[in-house]
Copies of this chain bind each other. A is one copy, B any other.
Amino acid sequence: MRPKTLWYFGRETGYGLWRNGWMTLASVSTVAISLFVLAFFIVLSVNLNHIATTLESEVEIRVFIHQKIPRQTELNLLKQAKGWPIVRKISFFTKSQAAHQLQSEFPDQKALLQLINQSNPLFDGYDVYAHHPSQIGVIARRFRRLPIVQSVVYEGLVAKRINRVTEVVRAVGWGIEALLALATLSIISNTIRLAVFARRREIGVMKLVGATDWFIRWPFVLEGTVLGLVGAAAADVAVNYGYRWAIRAAVAAMPFWPVAPLHLVLQHTIGVTVIMGLVIGGIGSLVAVRRFLHV
């Protein structure tokens, strides 16, 4: 394409957007709104993912050590196990700490507490956290093989359930995003179609004056692209400020709640909105214009 033609297309695009000001506004805001809704749910699903990951990481194994093993041996194993790649976190507890935990869990079982205080029947041990629930079995087997380990306990059912829930949450998240992407897609392309429809006569006149299809198409496609891009930018700005606010609000209201960090969220939303805006804006216009080019 010669620079002159390029310049022409650029000027035509700006011109079209400007002269159709009111329609441009309606289209851009529709695009921006649909992309914002889409982005909003990407944010939600990133957060759900984040929660799922956090939940999964809570899955722990409890390893108990034979009684009468020297503290040093126990701490050696702790040090060693910290180096295992499948272990995400490991922490040591003494049998008196275990007794305390039991006490706090059954504060009113006085007889039980008395017994524990007299001669603690509990064990020293470790709380081990895996990176992923599927690794729990491996970790458990590895500990069981060690001679100083008395027993390994893990809540198989809860782990499985959490695993299941996070899977479903992820799947639902994807499903929602796909649905919304589709909805956004058709809303944007409908909007652009309506906008092009309002200018169908113009297209006809251009053709009759001798313009090639591409000569007519390009400014429309560029217009659609700019429209999509501006809409995407507006949506992203809204998400950026909205999410900052949401983080602050969430931290204040529920300090224990895991919130996905801003950069992670923006990374996803900007990618999706810009691509959708650009591609649908462009392709939508292309398709819409085609209808009216057969003159």
- Residue numbers of A with Cβ under 8 A of B are 22-23, 26-27, 29-30, 33-34, 36-37, 40, 64, 107-109, 111-112, 114-115, 121-123, 150-151, 153, 161, 164-165, 168, 176, 179-180, 183, 186-187, 190-191, 193-195, 197-198, 253-254, 256-257
Contacts and interface: CB of A to CB of B under 8 A. Distances in A.
Given A40-B179, A115-B121, A183-B37, A30 B108 contact: no
17 contacts: A26-B193, A26-B197, A27-B194, A29-B186, A30-B191, A33-B186, A34-B183, A40-B176, A64-B108, A109-B121, A109-B123, A115-B121, A161-B256, A168-B254, A187-B187, A191-B191, A191-B194
Contacts of A176: 40
Nearest to A197: B198
Nearest to A182: B33
Contact of A108 (B29, B115, B153, B195): B153
Task: Select the residue from A34, A153, A168, A257 with max chain B CB neighbours within 10 A.
Answer: A34
Contact of A111 (B112, B122, B151, B191): B122
Contacts of A109: 121-123
Contacts of A194: 23, 26-27, 191, 194-195, 198
Contacts of A33: 183, 186-187
B30 A186 contact: yes
A195 B164 CA distance: 47
A109 B176 CA distance: 46
Given A34-B183, A115-B121, A198-B197, A254 B191 contact: no
A190 B253 contact: no
Contacts of A36: 183
Contacts of A187: 30, 33-34, 187
Contacts of A161: 256
A26 B21 CA distance: 21
Nearest to A256: B161
Contacts of A180: 37
A12 B187 CA distance: 27
Given A26-B194, A40-B176, A197-B198, 9 more contacts: A22-B197, A26-B193, A33-B183, A33-B187, A34-B183, A37-B180, A40-B179, A108-B151, A161-B256
